[in-house]
Amino acid sequence: MDATTTVSSDDDSVDQQIARHYDERPYASEAFSYSSPAQIRAAARLYGISAPAPHRARVLEVGCAAGGNILPFALAYPEAEVIGVDLSPVQIEQGRQVLERLGVTNMTLQAMSLTDIGPEFGKFDYIIAHGVFSWVPPAVRDALVRLCQTHLTEDGVAYISYNTYPGWKAGDIVRDAITLHSHGAKTANERMESARAVVRMFQDGMAAANPLRGGMATVLNQLDTLPDYYLEHEYLEGFNAPCYLVEFADLAMRNGMSYLGDAYASLESAANYGQNVQLNLSLIAIGQPKLMRQQYLDFLVGQNFRRSLLVHQRRHEEILVQPDFSQATHLRAAAIFTKTEPPANGAVQPGMQWLYDTEGTLLSTDDTVILQVVDVLSQAWPRSVPIADLASRTGLPEAEVKKAWLRLAEWGRLLLVQDPTPYDDVELDAAPTLIPGAVALLDSNARTGVEHVALANLWHCTVRWRPNAMQAWVMQQIDGKRNVTALARLLCEAWQRGKVSGPNGESLVGQRNLDATAQRAVKALLETLRRLALRLC
């Protein structure tokens, strides 16, 4: 049986059930930065593998929902071809409406099972399946990996994410209890009420002597902050089958594919988990192959989620045992860091600075070279910077800059790409220009009051920001031709004529001497748009 056939009539009914659940409560369609083909290409380089350039790549996303994960790539690379498939007709139609509003012509969405993808689809340079593998029947998991083998170009790379043991063991207990309590529930709302009741039961009634209390508390605290659609599809679906890394890699091998590494390469570096982990892993993993080494590391750190990259088995000998972060010096990096106050309960050390990185993860360091590198990257954002430029901008010896660069790369604090990005193709002194689709998507989400597709920048990062009325109006005037002065002049006129409210929502009709206020408002908005990477320049 090949990937062009449906698995069985029973699996057809399973597909229909899965589709119905996603139709009833659609999953938020958002972007995940490490599933971007441009960043997958850079990650593959760290493992010793060359991958196709993104600019004209053919990309397939399986389980695309409304297309929010792959849309930023389609917008960034208009000469690429992007296809998304999903079981849910409701989410596919929502995505199609978004594509039509945005005028996207290089991306298509189809409501179908991955088992129905046949030879007519052709070959793809990148195949992406985020949030699919663990949540489908075993036969479909096999079909997904076979799909990669049959539809991936010779030098292509596949990305498959999945829940991983041992970290998901605590989640299994919570899921088992939720499944038991929701048995017999007839509607999505009834299932959700049952699930939330179980979460409260564990939170309020777990015995202090429960030996699994610590691990389960982490899961329960996370569920408190996550929306209903996550709980529905992660804990209430008929299928959620975490596996060990070696089990996933074995399935890949049996289907002609080789495990390359994690798209988040820092996850595979033992040095990131402390000297104790690094030392003990090196002792037990002496002479062990790559997969066993990584499996032991998963045991030591309690890994619960992976974003695995696969290549054709013929390339197996090219794959490095560990990610080689020295390769990052041949790549381009981008990041933005925001200074913050030290934790209230933390000891304050002289020279130590606390910063949030691009993904919102806290970083603390007193390394002056790293701090200078961080500052230059933040000033250049959202543009990417090669290491030679970074050295010249800091004025520091290249060897010192290289060391700091490599540490940041190994810690996972940099967005890495091999090629210049759309942000790099725009002249620095050009008039302000927004990324494609930003205004149309924000306007669509605001008018409908429903966010079928979340806003994301061209770095493939979801943007959780909504402009106020004044900001939205100014964004509509940003056309790549008007400079700050021209935009401020238009804003003054709009205020005086009552077309838009003032910075605090007040009316400024008929008021004079608003030039300085308008300049400040436009500059502040442009800085916000830069930090969110919604500006090309």
- Residue of higher predicted confidence among 503 and 26: 503
Q: DSSP 3-state assignment of 435?
A: coil
Q: Residue range 389-397: average pLDDT?
A: 91
How far apart are the C-alpha atoms of 160 and 250, rounded to whole Å? 14
pLDDT tens column, 204-260:
899 989 988 888 888 888 887 777 777 776 777 777 899 999 999 999 999 999 999
DSSP letter at 509? T
Q: Residue range 33-40: average pLDDT?
A: 97
- For residue 3, is pLDDT > 80? no
Instruction: Tally the C-alpha atoms within 13 A of residue 290's C-alpha that lie toward its C-beta.
Output: 18
Lowest mean pLDDT segment, chosen from 35-44, 96-105, 146-155, 172-181: 172-181
pLDDT tens column, 402-458:
999 999 999 999 999 999 999 999 998 889 999 999 999 999 888 877 788 999 999
pLDDT the model gives residue 2: 32
pLDDT the model gives residue 472: 96
E strand segments, 296-347: 305-312, 332-334, 338-340
pLDDT the model gives residue 421: 97
Mean pLDDT, the chain, rounded, equals: 91
Show Cβ contacts of residue 347 under 8 Å, excluding neighbours closer than 6 positions: none
Lowest mean pLDDT segment, chosen from 197-206, 408-417, 467-476: 197-206
Strand ordering across the sheet containing 338-340: 338-340, 353-356, 362-365
Q: At what angle do helices 213-225 and 188-205 cross, to 10 degrees?
A: 140
Report residue 222: phi and psi, to 5°.
-65, -45
pLDDT tens column, 46-86:
999 999 999 999 999 999 999 999 999 999 999 999 999 99
pLDDT the model gives residue 22: 46
pLDDT tens column, 272-290:
999 999 999 999 998 899 9
pLDDT the model gives residue 227: 77
Q: What is the pTM of this model?
A: 0.91
pLDDT the model gives residue 1: 27
- For residue 468, is pLDDT > 90? yes
Contact between 182 and 195 under an 8 Å Cβ cutoff? The reply is: yes
Report residue 494: phi and psi, to 5°.
-65, -40
Q: What percent of the chain has pLDDT over 70?
A: 94
pLDDT the model gives residue 244: 97
Q: Is 272 exposed, middle or buried (0-12, 13-18, 19+ CB in 10 A)?
A: middle
Range 267-273 contact pairs with CB under 8 angstroms and sequence separation of 24 or more:
267/303, 267/306, 267/412, 268/294, 268/297, 268/322, 268/323, 269/322, 269/323, 269/325, 269/410, 270/297, 271/410, 272/410, 272/411, 272/412, 273/297, 273/300, 273/301
Q: Residue range 395-404: average pLDDT?
A: 93
pLDDT the model gives residue 346: 63
| Per-position DSSP letters for 110-131, written without gaps between them | EE--GGG--GGG--EEEEEESS
Q: Residue range 123-142: average pLDDT?
A: 95
| Paired tokens of 101 | 């509003």
pLDDT the model gives residue 198: 86
- For residue 348, is pLDDT > 80? no
Query: CA of 235: how far to CAs of 139, 238, 243, 250, in Å?
Result: 21, 9, 16, 26
pLDDT tens column, 310-343:
999 999 999 999 999 999 989 999 999 999 998 8
Q: Residue range 184-206: average pLDDT?
A: 86
Look up tokens 């949540």; give the residue. Answer: 135
